[in-house]
């Protein structure tokens, strides 16, 4: 079963939503093994681009993603950062063993991306609400976003 990625009415006018949908579609085509992670996701994730004052709600339902402009419902996870930091999440390296996001000394890219994101997190410029309650959701999201692994 192929992944279904839809833009809700109104989201097609948001360039960030269109860019995200295209990125995910292309990533799932280029890396078909990520389909299992995509199908495992269920719930909603709110992405907030603080510098633009815009937000997107990603509503996953076992193989279907609907991207909404703005906030819809109560999200399981909320990720707040500048748009550049949100885009950088797609550069997160994935380990060969365990297929986990690799922040740290495992790879050169991991050190670079990890240092950048951890610095933002420490300064409070990157916030992840709901991480303690839904760590699995964040791991699967990073797996399908990532252009690696």
Q: What is the pLDDT of residues 20-49, one digit of tens each?
A: 999 999 999 999 989 999 999 999 999 999
CB within 8 Å of 87: residues ≥ 6 apart: none
pLDDT score for 25:
95
Give the chain's domains with CATH numbers: 4-86+127-145 (3.30.1050)
pLDDT score for 111:
60
């Amino acid at each position: 079963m192929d992944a279904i990625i839809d833009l809700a009415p109104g989201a097609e006018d948001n360039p960030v939503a269109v860019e995200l949908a295209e990125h995910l579609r292309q990533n799932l085509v280029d890396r078909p093994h990520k389909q299992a992670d995509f199908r495992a996701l269920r719930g909603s994730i709110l992405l907030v681009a603080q510098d633009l004052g815009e937000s997107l709600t990603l509503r996953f339902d076992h193989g279907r993603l609907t991207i909404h402009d703005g906030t819809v419902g109560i999200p399981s996870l909320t990720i707040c950062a500048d748009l550049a930091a949100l885009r950088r999440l797609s550069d997160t390296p994935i380990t060969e063993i365990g297929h986990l996001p690799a922040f740290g000394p495992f790879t050169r890219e991991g050190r670079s991306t990890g240092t950048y994101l951890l610095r933002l997190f420490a300064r409070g410029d990157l916030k992840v609400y709901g991480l303690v309650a839904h760590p699995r959701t964040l791991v699967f999201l990073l797996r399908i976003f990532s252009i690696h692994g």
